[in-house]
Amino acid sequence: MLAMNYRGPQRVRIDEKPEPKILHPQDAIVRVTRSCICGSDLHLYNGNVPDTRVGMTFGHEFIGEVTEIGSEVQKLKVGDMVIVPFNIACGKCHFCKQGLFGNCHESNSQATAVGGIFGYSHTAGGYDGGQAEYVRVPYADVGPTVIPPGMDPDDAVLLTDVVPTGYQAAEMGGIQKGDTVVIFGAGPIGIMAARCSWLFGAGRVIVIDKLEYRLEFVRNYANCEAYNYEEMDDPVVFVKKTTDWMGADVCIDAVGAEASGNLMQTITGRKLLLQAGSATAVHWAVNSLKKGGILSIVGVYGPTDNLVPIGNVVNKGITIRANQASVKRLLPKLIDHVQNGVINPKPLITHRVPLEDVADAYHIFSEKLDNCIKPVLIPPSAR
Ligand SMILES: NC(=O)c1ccc[n+]([C@@H]2O[C@H](COP(=O)([O-])OP(=O)(O)OC[C@H]3O[C@@H](n4cnc5c(N)ncnc54)[C@H](O)[C@@H]3O)[C@@H](O)[C@H]2O)c1
Ligand SMILES: [Zn+2]
Ligand SMILES: [Zn+2]
């Protein structure tokens, strides 16, 4: 089958790989009909995630058709079209039972922080992902959810990660009625977080990025304010000034390890890898918050130390809430929102690329070329 193949930092290609097989009675095999490239894949692509092995297939955002099931799978049948959450979760462990499907203790039993994630390095379990024609999906009765009749596949594929993560970013912010929410990052996740902040009662939503085309998009899509940090002397002073010098009630980091905007962070975090990615957005967010404010981090960072202003977090009494999104917990509600038109994810998809051209898609998305917001890869069988 055709599959994306990681060859080292900034080098990916399409290759022939053996089709996956059922390895466990609870597995299913899914024929992929759409898979996306995510900002999280860029951390892998740029070599920022430990134990990203050459030969791995990325891709944690995919939908497709069930083509084979293991002997213990009961809820799925061959032919079902499914949304597959990006987290791999057993559904039975201490953490899954609490709805913490991003922290499953079984699907990545060598680690104590993160659970298994499709196509996300051996740090996240070493599972091959969905930027391929077929994927093996473990615990098939737990994660995969049948796509409701009539749902557009482009909406469905964004329910595997972008919609739940944006929603959870807003949810973790504990937004109270009338709150000012400042979101760093206008990628798909920041855009969705902005849209969802209104659902929690925000009074003002501000998005900060440097890419004009994304600022323009989010202004229209999420009906919010959007500003370019390259036009500010200091983004923190900007936020304070626009909030009567109080600061934001809630800040959301939707940037993560590839942040730009601070030379020292860029050199230590992205060039020399002395810390696990540059923590510029965390800095700006912590320092832009009101005392007692809440920082919600969905931006992904490597697991090792980062130069975050932790002293300010303590002294300002900031609550930090962070996690990988718990897609499964949120899916029923979010499917309703999509079906009722409360959230309309599809417009985020700007590029539809044949799977064979996966290397070009990574280049375009990573370099933010051609006004790219979200690329989707389409395998030959789905075209
Ligand atoms: N926690 C989760 O479950 C989860 C799920 C999906 C994605 N993520 C993470 O969310 C983050 C965003 O993902 P995405 O797909 O939107 O990525 P993306 O790369 O498309 O977008 C990131 C945006 O941040 C902007 N940016 C860079 N430095 C900035 C700064 N200092 N301040 C403000 N904006 C800055 C970039 O210009 C870009 O538009 C990534 O770190 C990704 O790994 C987390
Ligand atoms: Zn993702
Ligand atoms: Zn579990």
The model's pTM is: 0.95
Pocket test for ligand 1, best of 61, 157, 189 (most atoms within 8 A of CB): 189
pLDDT for 228 beyond 50: yes
Mean pLDDT, range 144-172, rounded to an integer: 97
Which residue has the least CA distance to atom 2 on ligand 1?
324
Whose atoms come closest to the Cα of 300: which ligand?
Answer: 1
**Is 208 a pocket residue for ligand 1 (Cβ < 6 Å)?**
yes
Q: Whose CA is nearest to atom 5 of ligand 1?
A: 165
Which atom belonging to ligand 1 lies closest to the Cα atom of 323? 1
Range of weakest confidence among 184-188, 209-213, 251-255, 319-323:
319-323
315 pLDDT band, cuts 50/70/90, is low
Instruction: Provide the pLDDT for residue 311.
Output: 47
Query: What average pLDDT does this structure show over 331-358?
Result: 97
**The pLDDT of residue 168 is above 80:** yes
Q: Among the atoms of ligand 1, which is closest to the Cα of residue 365?
A: 20
Q: CATH classification of 2-160+326-382, choosing from 3.90.180.10, 2.20.25.10, 1.25.40.10, 3.40.30.10? A: 3.90.180.10
Q: Say what the pLDDT of residue 18 is.
A: 98
Tokens linked to 307: 């130069």
> 274 and 268 in contact (C-beta within 8 Å)?
yes
- Ligand 1 pocket, residue 189 CB under 6 Å: yes
> What's the pLDDT score for residue 204?
98
The Cα-based distances of 103 to 39, 49, 324, 342 in angstroms read 20, 18, 8, 28
Mean pLDDT, residues 275-300 taken together = 91
Ligand 1 close to Cβ of residue 42 (< 6 A): yes
Ligand 1 touching residue 164 (CB < 6 A)? no
Residue count of the chain: 383
Average pLDDT over residues 113-139: 95
CA–centroid distance, residue 161 to ligand 2 (Å): 5
Over residues 244-260, the pLDDT tens digits come to: 999 999 999 999 889 99
Q: What is the pLDDT of residue 110?
A: 86
Residues by chain with Cβ below 5 Å of ion ligand 2: 38, 40, 61, 161
Residue 286 corresponds to which tokens in the numbers above?
A: 């912590």
Ligand 1 atom 24: residue of nearest CA: 185
Same fold yes or no, 2-160+326-382 and 162-322: no
Best residue among 41, 161, 239, 255 to mutate for probing ligand 1, ranked by most atoms within 8 Å of CB: 255
Domain boundaries, the chain: 2-160+326-382, 162-322
Note the pLDDT of residue 303.
63
CATH topology of domain 162-322: Rossmann fold (3.40.50)
What's the pLDDT score for residue 308?
A: 64
User: Mind listing the pLDDT tens digit for each residue in 301-314?
Assistant: 776 655 665 545 54
Checking if the pLDDT of 65 tops 90, the result is: yes
Q: How far is Cα 2 from Cα 35, in angstroms, rounded to an integer?
A: 13
Q: Quick one: pLDDT at residue 88?
A: 98
